[in-house]
A and B are shown apart, each in its own frame.
Chain A
Amino acid sequence: MKPPPFDYEAPRTLGETLDALAGGGKVLAGGQSLIPLLNMRLAAPDRLVDVNGVAELDTLEVTAAGVRVGALARHARVERSGEAAAVQPLLRQALRHVAHPVIRNRGTVVGSLVHADPAAELPAVLALLGGTVEAASSGGRRTIEAAGFFTGPLECALAPGELAVSAFFPALPPQTGTAFAEVARRHGDYALVGVAALVALDDDLRVRAARAAYLSVADTPLVLDLTEPATRGQAGRPPGAADWSLAGADAAGRVRPDGDIHAGADYRRHLAGVLTERALAEAARNALPGER
């Protein structure tokens, strides 16, 4: 289990990085997904462009509009950032489920998006929030919407020679809450099913909108609008409460997961329903004033 040989470049600036990538090659960021593949010789790139020395990519910008995560910001840094959590709590909620603390010390948020593992948490987060990825190449820059970014299992919309420079996670509007729920076989494993949920309340603190994004149920993050089942039968319930089981049942009916050695398709569908119910309920609680 040793990597195959490759050519290696370690640019120091963004410009150098883009020049290097123009000549072909694979980006090495945190390496927490790429290096296992190299060690198992499941990937054999001719050339690696190691961006770990590009200081200008190591950024985390938090504004009222949202959180912009640079390509070298590690999971741990984003997870620890109180500012980021205040503007968009779902990031921290989801990051706690990404692998183990030691992996999070190295792995990058942007790398996780680009890697586009259908079982990964962050793609679902970006998809649910309608975030964007900023891509750059020697030919120029472009912004890719989450909806168009994830194109298949372990595939994304980046073109050869393109670097994902940053990802943007929009801020959470007022009276909106989020939550993340998943079931994994071991703590820290990729989830059998995971749900990122978002609930928006109206001025009377009644559910106005409910959405959820799913991991491990489809090739790419699946976003479902669950507003209709979530608002159905709210009558007579306290603020922020609803019969979430309706939304759970609706979600379970709409996901089409595959089975694998860890869990069958039926169980995954069932879990999608249970976790939807749990995550929406928690998101709604978090949406109540004073809860964030």
Chain B
Amino acid sequence: MSTSMFGEPIARREDPRLLTGQGRYLDDLGRDALAVAFVRSPHAHARITGIDVDAALDVDGLVAVYTWEDLPGPVGEPLPLLIPHPALTHGRTGYPLARDIVRYAGEPVVMVVARDRYLAEDAAERIRVEYEVLPPVVGIENAAAAGRLVHDDVPGNVGAHLVQQTRDAAGRDAPAAVEAAPHRLEFRLDIERSAAMPLEGRGVYARWDADDGSLRVYSSTQTSTSVRMAVAARLGLPKTKVEVIAPDVGGGFGVKIVHPWPEEVLVPWAARLLGREVKWTEDRREHFVSAAHERGQVQFVRVGFDDDGRIRGLDVRILHDHGAYTPYGIIVPIITSTQLLGPYKPDAYRVEFTSLYTNTVIVTPYRGAGRPQGVFCMERTMDRIAAHLGLDRADVRAANFIAPGEFPYDQGLTFQDGRPLIYDSGDYPRMLDMIKELVGWDGFERERAAAARRGRRIGIGLGCYVEGTGVGPYEGGHVEVDSGGRVHVSTGLTSQGQGHETVFAQIAAAELGVPIEDVTVTTGDTRRFGYAVGTFASRAAVLSGNAIALACRRLRDKALRIAGEALEADPRDLEITDGTVHVRGDTTACIPLRTVAVLANPLRYAFDDEAQRATQFATGGSPDEPPVAEGQEPGLEGRDYYSPVRSTFAAGMHAAVVETDPDTAEIRILRYAVVHDCGRLINPRIVEGQIHGGVAQGVAGALYERMVYDEAGQLLNASFMDFLMPYATEIPHVATDHLQTPSPLNPLGIKGAGEAGVIPVSAVIAAAVEDAEGIRVDAMPLSPDGLFRLRRRAAADPGLRLPRVRV
């Protein structure tokens, strides 16, 4: 049964621990550690003119207070710009503690260390920082107008500017193709800011071991290996003296991929300096004002198309708000501008983005990472075209699809990994049929009429996307069988609830032919695996999954070779079932893997009965050959890496039926349907869970969540009372269906699934509300008040009403 593990919806192995309160999240560790609190800037833009810590000094339990002046050498240098890009001509990063100028409300200015967090907050409250307030830049358009600057040396507030384009068969660029097309439309779209908002905030806990000069750091991170490099570099320690461990992590969704956060440098530094355990656990208010946000964009679209709705030219200009600094580069707008194309193939495409500084919290990837904005743009465009031509919205999409026979399909652009944007596989027409069926697209006009007779207003919407998943550069896997027959799997990337312990165990069990109960998996612990990139971009299963599979295959080869010697059989005739190597078709000639593990490690000393069999007087072997043969290593283990040439492209289509209240303008999702293709499924239940969670975050972004800044750059809704993360009562039932077009790019044929659920939701809900109301929806999220105002505007301006005539 073990080999059929792959593809099974088996129960998760992390659950028993998490269900009984035995999980270990960051703040569960280091009970005796000193606690850290920060004095953060109350102003969006200001010059620090003085810091007076005197009043804090008599707080009982205070241990230390640090400002930028106290930070030595590299510790006080600006944080690294993690992903440089030639277009990012004016990249800027902040200091771990603000130096002279603060550029967003929430930027850390003073670090306080005390016996516990209560006392640390007492002390922080008493520290007086004098500011000379500077005029802030808030809002994308104000940033673009550049009446004021966020950084004096960044003209126009422009951090990056990038153009990519393709030409049609006649050699025309998109503007020319638009001009030449039979029909043209021009419009603007807006998406507001939101945030990943995991329920566990960030956190760092560090222990300095003075005896051997080593540092152990726990961080609630999506990339422990990279945090390790960053900490080692800043603290001037060799990598071998720094270990970083991601314990159980209470959700990440992108925000925890950024590193090193200021706190990830400061806490280990203070731990070493003080020779004490130090811990910082972010509270919710800090998370709102000092972790990252995402999504905010303004898009200007020009599109030309023919009578069937085929896009002849698409010309998009994007203004992207990246906040006060750019530590994570311009990954988000790059993804928006490339993934915008989805399953479609416009004849000519031109996209230009300008990435702008504002005096707000930094913007880095949040689940979907720029794709929701791109898909919003493309799908709104499709709906516009359909409305303009009076065509079925699904038909217009079908007219623009890449056909199943056209793979691999080269979009002619450069993707976020610097590689060409080439789709590997997919079947979009089939998927469209499936989603129409699942949501009841074709019967909808009857449903609408029936609802209307009861005074109810309903509408339907559809959205498609393609998601580049599993970006490189690489991940690795290590597998070892011990002399008890237990299989230890490790990989460097981290887990935040995706069930990696289960999925990777499934892969190992299937590859090795061992019972899954014998497999244990460790992720995100540099003590076990030092080389890794991190968990983001729906890459864990693809990258680490394949690396682990390859490592298992190495181990398996070795096991068969050793067993072949012991059984005097040709390794090619052997297979492994239930943890035992045997001759194919004959289970009597067999040897358990644990024995193979013993034989793989020739010993001098016997430390238990099993080991005795491998000691020098017990093994036979030729006296003329070395006990470890040339080219071989002791131990039954395998290590390998998977480094894909380029991303693999998952795809999906969502559809929803919504009801709008004619009186209160409340919006309710009546049903939500998802068809999803992430190649071969390792564990359908886990994939489904990922989709559910993504859809909920999508619904949140479409109808509830936004970051509301006032003109002074104050975040007005920095609490769960006012940032409206949906409860169960706000999330509709989600129906799912799967299509499996295996990826030809990797050994397992899988594609990523982590982000898919969230990507098209705003587009789908906008389309459905638009359809229910007959009023154009150009901006998301949409609140009841927003819909109310839209109705008023449409009453005054018929141009906002949909031209589509319903039958």
Contacts and interface: CB of A to CB of B under 8 A. Distances in A.
- Asked if A and B touch directly (CB within 8 angstroms), the answer is yes
Interface of A: 1-5, 40-41, 183, 185-190, 192, 261-264, 266-267, 270-271, 274-275
B269 interface: no
Interface in B671-719: 704, 708, 716-717, 719
Nearest to B286: A1
B738 interface: no
Nearest to A2: B118
Contacts of B284: 1
B664 A261 contact: no
B121 A2 contact: yes
Contacts of B188: none
Contacts, number: 65
A253 B625 CA distance: 100
A3 B730 CA distance: 32
Q: 4 nearest interchain CB pairs? A: A187-B729, A267-B785, A1-B283, A263-B785
B729 to A, nearest CB: 4
B784 A264 contact: no
A263 B666 CA distance: 12
Given A186-B726, A261-B722, A1 B285 contact: yes
Nearest to B710: A261
Contact of B708 (A1, A261, A263): A261
A111 B718 CA distance: 25
Nearest to B120: A2
Contact of A267 (B125, B704, B788): B788
Nearest to A36: B721
A270 B791 CA distance: 12
B789 interface: yes
Given A1-B283, A261-B708, A261-B722, A186 B727 contact: yes
Given A40-B285, A189-B724, A192-B785, 15 more contacts: A1-B284, A4-B121, A4-B125, A41-B121, A185-B724, A185-B784, A186-B704, A186-B730, A187-B730, A188-B727, A261-B708, A261-B722, A263-B783, A266-B788, A267-B789
B508 to A, nearest CB: 41
Contacts of B568: none
B365 to A, nearest CB: 26
A157 to B, nearest CB: 26
Given A185-B704, A186-B704, A186-B724, A2 B784 contact: no
B663 A274 contact: yes
B518 interface: no
A268 B106 CA distance: 32
B682 to A, nearest CB: 35
A263 B719 CA distance: 17
B783 A41 contact: no
Contacts of B122: 4-5
Contacts of B663: 274
Contacts of B117: 2
A3 B284 CA distance: 14
A179 B726 CA distance: 27
Given A41-B125, A183-B664, A188 B729 contact: yes
A5 B716 CA distance: 27
21 contacts: A1-B283, A1-B285, A4-B125, A185-B784, A186-B724, A186-B727, A186-B729, A187-B727, A188-B727, A188-B729, A189-B724, A190-B721, A261-B717, A263-B783, A263-B785, A264-B789, A267-B789, A270-B788, A271-B664, A274-B663, A275-B664
A261 B784 contact: no
A5 B788 CA distance: 46
Contacts of B708: 261
Given A183-B664, A186-B729, A187-B729, A267 B784 contact: yes
Given A4-B125, A274-B664, A185 B783 contact: yes
Interface string B116-151: 011001100100000000000000000000000000
Nearest to B725: A186
A5 B117 CA distance: 12
B121 to A, nearest CB: 5
Contacts of B784: 183, 185, 192, 263, 267
A183 B121 contact: no
B402 to A, nearest CB: 40
B773 to A, nearest CB: 16
